[in-house]
Structure 1
Amino acid sequence: MTADAVVRGRVRPGWEAVRDAFAHGQADDPGAAQLAVHHHGRQVADLWTEGKAPTVAARPFGPDSITVLMSVTKGLTAVCAHLLRERGLLDLRAPVARYWPEFAAAGKSETTVTDLLAHRAGLPAFTDDAAGVGLPGLLDGDARVGALAAMRPVWEPGTAYLYHALTYGHLIGEVVRRVTGTSIGAFFAREVAGPLRLNLWMGLPRSAEDRFVPQFAVRPAPSAEQIDAAVGGLGLAPGDRLASALRASAGELAAALEAFGTRRGRACEIPAAGGIGDARSLSRLYAALIGEVDGIRLLSAPAVDRARAPHTDHLSPPRRLRRSDGPDRSRFGLGFELPRPGEPLLGEGSFGHAGAGGRLGMAHPESGLAVGYVCTAMAWEPSAGPDPRWTPWSAAVREAAAGADRA
């Protein structure tokens, strides 16, 4: 372990241990990071490190910097669906085809909005071609939506679940568009980010480009051979459609990462992974889901309970994939990740979403906690369990909140 990172920013009295824990967690991270915490609607920590490695853009990292959120974006997308449910405009139990008639094709007439939110739809990639959709095709949202509407599911929707790394956002995004008449990025900007004054976007405006700091990988991306070996290790036959879909999904995610390094890619709405923002906005968003922030509350308590109710615990991944039932098994509510066994984070009952590389947005209604964490070093994969950078500060946050509530 190297010396603790230099941390800048502020914490409220009683939360000093969070600053120290954040510094400890960032000690070996070559990149920069931000951590923000809200407690009962009040910001109690607003911290950042500048990192040890120069950014790709040679742009300094500070409290107002923004970066790619990866799958943390899925939480933003889920918020839009739950807002429409609160307003009586969207029935989460209804067939998707009620709102998007073309989606009924190829055996999907009974697929529900809940199936989309809980990664149960059987559409984990945009194509059956193992090569996946590359660039520039991935940035053609209309074409990707059309392909999903026409596609036959890889498994019977609702009977199994498997992470929909990129398709999740286009599926929910098209439902939102059909209900509201506007894109999900525009809906989020108008109904969520605007009222709460958040620096969060699905589709980065050119006016915010000067604040963007790119991410960088700390290890090489997996090769095609490594992806093939990983898929082969799951016990699938070489010609299985699920094997092809998994290879396609990996290729599509690699194309998305390449796109996020370009202005065009950042401007495009990719509502499963292309969100861009900062930690304080993530924390403020999640705080407004579970309570009031400056007089604004986004979801009622019953809506929050609905969002964090488990919807995959009774299911297995399709084909009973090897290594699918171990401690790394993901759990999903309605659009949000739920803590896995041995992964306390903010406590049992937490909900939110992590993103590849180490980003995190999460809330815990029982303690009134909400956190946002972003980083520039892609140093973590979700299947590996909690990011070790989170462990020190998540424990300190829980302890500080308990102390504040006792005071």
Structure 2
Amino acid sequence: MRPGFEAVRETFAEVVDGSTGGAAFSVFRRGAPIVALHGGRAAPQVPWTGDTRVVLFSGTKGIVATVAAVLTARGLLDPDRPVARYWPEFAAAGKADVPVSQILAHTVGLPYVETDLPMLDNAANAAALARQSPLWAPGTRVAYHALTYGYLLTELIRRGTGDDLGSLVRTLLAEPHNLDLRLGTPPTVPVATLRRAPGYRISTFLQDPQRRRVVERMYRGLLDSTDTMNSAEYRGAALAAGSAVGTATAMARLYDLLLSGELVPPDVLARATRTWSEGVDAVNDRPLRFGLGFELADPIGTYGPAEVAFGHSGAGGGRHGAWPEHGVSFSFTTNELQAEDVDTRASSLLAALHETL
């Protein structure tokens, strides 16, 4: 760790001391690592190291948004083009004119799959969503598409490129840049064991019982126990909304590569990280602000004190992103899921980092 970041180290020590799991915090600045911290347990009797991988949950969405930006830069995906131009079946139920941008910005109105299908079946869920009517006129409301973001983009990108997203994560990001990231992880790859902190729950902004039932349909029980989230089947399913696996170093470096212009030209990144949707989530009551697949700095400080930020958080506390005005990228990974309304780990680390800078 670079000298001068002792306050970050002290804050991280407090985070680990208050956890029964483990964590890592990695920071890059203009291509150079400046913070690399890890501690606690990846599993019982297994210490967390700098190479510990963890399921990233919705941190996966930021990886997929990066792939979408790369494809846009290469002329293979156009956010303004109708989804149906790539995926004709999607035109059903009044969706013929829905642009790609509305899927990326969570405004398409398909937050859950109406048909009861296996959660890990990308193709079946995508086909069902293509037939499905939106809950609202696409583009008129914003609501987090917790799992359907993945089904929709997996099929859209497959139709547009002929490749599956797991392969594109590998060939566009992981292999050329030596990033320990996977979407579709073999069972032989070691991954930290996930655990739920006592009282863990989702959608902590939501009080309405009717919309709580909508949330239950959205998440399909994924976060209700550790059995599914720790399974080799879940990690191997290549769910583009939440089953990627990686290290904190890899995630921080990914956002560093975005800032540097090495992955996409500055104009493409600027377009992907400007505001495409914002407001209070129509389902969850949480303030939201999205670019093209990236979360942006919001009123509740998800990305710390920086006024300009982009990235993506993950269920249970993961936080990955960048502060462009500081030339800084970061990733906080953990295997202990804490509820958003009580979890201060990433926020305290980002506050200490911002103060140090």
TM over 0.5: yes
CA contact (8 A) 1:202 1:276 kept: yes
Show the counterpart of 1:298: 263
Deviation at 1:252, TM superposition (A): 4.7
CA contact (8 A) 1:25 1:391 kept: no
CA gap of 1:91–1:221, structure 2 versus 1, over 3 A, is: same
Deviations 1:91-144 (A, max 9, x none): 10111001111111111111111100110011111226xxx64xxx11122111
> What is the distance in 1 between the residues matched to 2:307 and 2:268?
18
Deviation at 1:301, TM superposition (A): 1.7
The amino acid that maps onto 1:50 is: G
Show the counterpart of 1:123: 110
Show the counterpart of 1:239: none
Deviation at 1:362, TM superposition (A): 0.6
Deviation at 1:199, TM superposition (A): 0.8
Q: TM-score, normalised by structure 1?
A: 0.81
> What is the distance in 2 between the residues matched to 1:145 and 1:268?
14
Show the counterpart of 1:108: 95
Select 2:290's aligned residue among 314, 324, 332: 332
Deviations 1:152-181 (A, max 9, x none): 111111111111000101111211111211
1:164 corresponds to 2:145: yes
Matches within 5 A, 1:228-267: 233-234=207-208, 245-254=214-223, 258-267=227-236
Show the counterpart of 1:201: 182
CA contact (8 A) 2:54 2:333 kept: yes
Deviation at 1:67, TM superposition (A): 1.1
CA gap of 1:252–1:109, structure 2 versus 1, over 3 A, is: farther
> What is the distance in 2 between the residues matched to 1:68 and 1:175?
24
Show the counterpart of 1:99: 86
Select 1:34's aligned residue among 24, 29, 40: 24
CA contact (8 A) 2:36 2:249 kept: yes
The amino acid that maps onto 1:18 is: V
The amino acid that maps onto 2:154 is: G
> What is the distance in 2 between the residues matched to 1:74 and 1:162?
15
The amino acid that maps onto 1:26 is: V
Deviation at 1:182, TM superposition (A): 1.0
CA gap of 1:316–1:391, structure 2 versus 1, over 3 A, is: closer
1:287 corresponds to 2:256: yes
- Structure with greater Cα Rg: 1
Show the counterpart of 1:15: 5
The amino acid that maps onto 1:29 is: S
RMSD: 2.5
CA contact (8 A) 1:66 1:278 kept: yes
> What is the distance in 2 between the residues matched to 1:119 and 1:285?
22
SS of match in other structure, 1:264? helix
> What is the distance in 2 between the residues matched to 1:394 and 1:317?
24
Percent of pairs with identical residues: 34
CA contact (8 A) 1:201 1:276 kept: yes
CA contact (8 A) 2:24 2:37 kept: yes
CA gap of 1:377–1:243, structure 2 versus 1, over 3 A, is: closer
> What is the distance in 2 between the residues matched to 1:200 and 1:256?
24
**Number of matched pairs:** 356
Show the counterpart of 2:325: 366
Show the counterpart of 1:271: 240
Show the counterpart of 1:3: none
CA contact (8 A) 2:195 2:336 kept: yes
Deviations 1:18-43 (A, max 9, x none): 21221123331221001100011111
> What is the distance in 1 between the residues matched to 2:98 and 2:224?
28
1:376 corresponds to 2:341: no
> What is the distance in 2 between the residues matched to 1:250 and 1:220?
17
CA contact (8 A) 2:312 2:320 kept: yes
> What is the distance in 1 between the residues matched to 2:199 and 2:354?
35
CA contact (8 A) 1:31 1:376 kept: yes
Select 1:43's aligned residue among 33, 38, 54: 33
The amino acid that maps onto 2:258 is: L
CA gap of 1:395–1:317, structure 2 versus 1, over 3 A, is: closer
1:55 corresponds to 2:43: yes
Show the counterpart of 1:405: none
| 5+ long unaligned stretches in structure 1 | 1-10, 237-241, 402-407
The amino acid that maps onto 2:130 is: A
Deviations 1:313-354 (A, max 9, x none): 3x5544xx6x83xxx412111101112225151611100011
| 5+ long unaligned stretches in structure 2 | none
CA gap of 1:257–1:333, structure 2 versus 1, over 3 A, is: farther
Deviation at 1:286, TM superposition (A): 0.4
> What is the distance in 2 between the residues matched to 1:204 and 1:21?
32
Deviation at 1:220, TM superposition (A): 5.2
SS of match in other structure, 1:330? strand
> What is the distance in 2 between the residues matched to 1:16 and 1:360?
21
Deviation at 1:306, TM superposition (A): 1.2
> What is the distance in 2 between the residues matched to 1:356 and 1:302?
30
CA gap of 1:341–1:268, structure 2 versus 1, over 3 A, is: same
> What is the distance in 1 between the residues matched to 2:11 and 2:212?
41
> What is the distance in 1 between the residues matched to 2:92 and 2:214?
19
Show the counterpart of 1:143: 124
The amino acid that maps onto 1:76 is: I
Deviations 1:249-268 (A, max 9, x none): 13253479643321122111
Deviations 1:276-296 (A, max 9, x none): 11100000000000016xxxx
